Structure 1
Amino acid sequence: MNINKPVLLIDEEKCRANIQRMASLCADKKMSFRPHFKTHQSLAVGKWFKEVGVSKIAVSSLSMAEYFSKEWNDILVAFPTNVLEDELINHLAQRIHLNLLVESLETISLLADVVKFPLTIYIEIDTGYHRTGVYFDDYQMIDSILEVIKNADCLSFGGFITHSGHSYDCLGKEEVLSLHHINKNRFLQVKSRYIADYSNLIISYGDTPTTSIADDFDGVDELRPGNFVCYDVTQVQIGSCDFNQIAVVLACPIISIHKERGEIIIYGGSVHLSKDSLKWQDKGVIYGLLAEKTEKGWCEPIENAYVYSLSQEHGKIKMAEIELLKYNVGQIVYIYPIHSCLVISSMRGFTTLTGEILDVYRGL
């Protein structure tokens, strides 16, 4: 494979193993599996999910739903509905089983007036993340939203969803499990309040840290994680995975070496890796780790080698002198991303280890 500029590589074997692991968890726990496709954003990768029996998905925008509607029928837009996109909402609802997310009385009231074709509504519940969602014990608001759905001609109630995004702030499995216990119990409290009146409602739970680490999902009907398909350095730090499960790296050419500073300069900057960062061990803030290359791809990161600075096209790698001597200008290095979702979105495509290019969604 000829690489002469930044290329996002995907290890199909690792990716498929991640998919199978999550599908098996759902099967073992008698939950349905609605993976969030905002991470990989690819129809080609989506086919790998179909091979393990997945029949419904989540996405993060209506335009992404349109992209995936070529091959998927049951799609949840897991983002508070933007009522200004009513034309696209109706276009999709006419063609597929469209599921939308609401978290306010104002939004559901506006939707009830503009939706012309049947679709399903899920109410987002805030179990502690405090980004969007109706707070888990705000039954007055939930009741008001349900009343609008009941009286609308084209809307039906599907259930509740939550996203424990604050699990990304956890360090270690114990913190994740503690947060999961609180959030799951709050979510089940909502379910128990409404199951008598809505016997077919489902509660959909989704974030990669808790679904990768926890084992207790009693009462949860559906899992909806996304990042797990590729994982990244953030997930390693949290405890969701190990490095051998990270299915993507950014391949970058070396354009300069400064031995006096212990630095390698790569063609690979913030437009490729994004500006997502984290504090890593004793290295301070980093933007990626250098992966050890193997005949079949990559494995553990190289010790004391990390991306410590990014500009638009340039990346600076700090490295121990003994390792630095192994590299020359024109070589390709592999970078583990801090946040795979943003790198995939930035690169707009994958290349497999056999050289096949996998196209991805190119909207915003």
Structure 2
Amino acid sequence: MIHVPSLILDVDKCKKNIRDMALKAKEHKVTFRPHFKTHQSLEIGRWFKEHGVNKITVSSLEMAEYFLPEWKDITVAFPTNILEIERINRLAEKIQLNLLIESAETAKFLIENLTNPVGFFIKIDAGYHRTGVQPKDGNIIDDILKISEVSAKLIFKGFLSHSGHTYKCQNKADVLDIHQRCMNTLVELKEKYKNEYSNLILSLGDTPSCSIAEDFEGIDEIRPGNFVFYDLMQNKIGSNAIDHIAVALACPIVAIHDDRNEIVVYGGGVHFSKERLENEKEGTIYGRIVEKNENSWGDLIPDTVIKSLSQEHGIISVSDDQIKNYSIGDYILALPIHSCMTANLMKRYKTTDGKDILMMNSW
């Protein structure tokens, strides 16, 4: 029974998304190191083990500690925060920990302060321009590698990149163009350094590229994360169909305004986040409403979207012929724009088969 905003997880859809991506990685002979920042759940993480996954990616050292009891090879795909050196050393004592380095300063600090060996990737900016070493800046790369050579505690694993700018694409062709550019950048680096580091790994990971592309020539590892649930943003890009989306937010209806074809739900920015999509017909939207059925949800309801969010309120625009179908005390099911953000805010799931699944830092 739904009393408050609740994140509903369709287990079958989620497991199919996991299976499909695992099979794709196997088909292309790349290591599948999924990013767990989307689901942040030990239980959901176990579903990956059914497909032979034994290495994962996380977005923080805190998250690595959460997954440590069940995963022994973890890459933290975030620039190393040297202020957390004590936590780094605790983790490195127990697991194969891999960090990201993009400066000589960080490499020097780790050399001086590590108590246990860690692997490291050099983070490469392949066009996203969020962070990372520019691929043409060989001096920084060489400096980092030279520093690491003097210590057995800092072990070079390879080059890693994240093409986050695919999230701004409007079609598959644009995603494939970015993907190809990223691959070319990484492969060129491998050609340059493979004689000195014959086992270096090329690691890339973004859900649009990993979902759409069929060419991973030269890549050793993929790290998609959002694909486990998908969402409306990914659907707009072309990564997934609507029926691949594995989470929906259930929001109680608290008011109905027939005069302006709006319903008010208990479900706002603190539940959905304020991620949005825009189009000429609807303007800005924060989610789409789907039909409810006995075990999950069905098709999108036409012309029914979340038009605005405040902290706790959600305002849903409804068509003339649909508003009569809603009543106070009922609830709607909304597909999120960005499932990673929504899941992170909600901290727990209600599954379509009647279970509660907790996430990291669940209250």
Q: Look up the equivalent residue of 1:61 and give its one-letter code.
A: S
CA drift of 1:299 comes to 2.4
CA distance in 2 between partners of 1:114 and 1:69 (Å): 22
Tell me if the contact between 2:349 and 2:357 (Cα under 8 Å) persists in the aligned partners: yes
CA distance in 1 between partners of 2:154 and 2:127 (Å): 28
User: Could you list the runs of 5+ residues in structure 1 that have no partner in the other structure?
Assistant: none
Tell me if the contact between 1:149 and 1:156 (Cα under 8 Å) persists in the aligned partners: yes
- Tell whether 2:270 aligns with 1:271: yes
2:151 aligned residue: 152
Structure 1 ranges of 4+ moved more than 4 A: none
CA distance in 1 between partners of 2:208 and 2:227 (Å): 8
CA distance in 2 between partners of 1:281 and 1:194 (Å): 48
List per-residue Cα deviations over 1:211-256 (Å, max 9, x = no partner): 1001010110000000000000000000000110000000010001
1:105 aligned residue: 104
How many positions carry a matched residue from both structures? Answer: 362
CA distance in 1 between partners of 2:222 and 2:321 (Å): 46
List per-residue Cα deviations over 1:60-116 (Å, max 9, x = no partner): 000000000011000000000000000100000001111111111111111111111
1:78 aligned residue: 77
Q: Look up the equivalent residue of 2:166 and give its one-letter code.
A: S
1:356 aligned residue: 355
Return the TM-score normalized by structure 2.
Answer: 0.98
**Inter-CA distance 280–24: structure 2 relative to 1 (3 Å threshold):** same
**Inter-CA distance 217–281: structure 2 relative to 1 (3 Å threshold):** farther
List per-residue Cα deviations over 1:249-290 (Å, max 9, x = no partner): 000100010010100100000110011111145111111110
1:291 aligned residue: 290
Q: Secondary structure at the match of 1:143?
A: helix
CA distance in 1 between partners of 2:155 and 2:168 (Å): 35
1:49 aligned residue: 48
CA distance in 1 between partners of 2:106 and 2:298 (Å): 47
1:37 aligned residue: 36
2:140 aligned residue: 141
User: Could you list the runs of 5+ residues in structure 2 that have no partner in the other structure?
Assistant: none
Return the TM-score normalized by structure 1.
Answer: 0.98
Tell me if the contact between 2:120 and 2:156 (Cα under 8 Å) persists in the aligned partners: yes
Tell me if the contact between 1:137 and 1:190 (Cα under 8 Å) persists in the aligned partners: no
CA distance in 1 between partners of 2:124 and 2:229 (Å): 27
- Tell whether 2:185 aligns with 1:186: yes
- Tell whether 2:196 aligns with 1:197: yes
1:58 aligned residue: 57
1:330 aligned residue: 329
Q: Look up the equivalent residue of 1:8 and give its one-letter code.
A: L
CA drift of 1:153 comes to 3.5
Q: Look up the equivalent residue of 1:85 and give its one-letter code.
A: E
| Percent of paired sites with the same residue | 49
1:88 aligned residue: 87
List per-residue Cα deviations over 1:136-180 (Å, max 9, x = no partner): 121111111011111124111111110000000100111111111
Tell me if the contact between 2:4 and 2:251 (Cα under 8 Å) persists in the aligned partners: yes
Q: Look up the equivalent residue of 2:117 and give its one-letter code.
A: P
CA drift of 1:195 comes to 1.1
Q: Secondary structure at the match of 1:160?
A: strand
Greater shift, 151-160 or 82-91, is seen at 151-160
Aligned-residue Cα RMSD (Å) equals 0.9
Tell me if the contact between 2:262 and 2:318 (Cα under 8 Å) persists in the aligned partners: yes
Write out aligned runs for 1:208-357 (5 A). Answer: 208-280=207-279, 282-357=281-356
Tell me if the contact between 2:11 and 2:353 (Cα under 8 Å) persists in the aligned partners: no
Q: Secondary structure at the match of 1:151?
A: coil
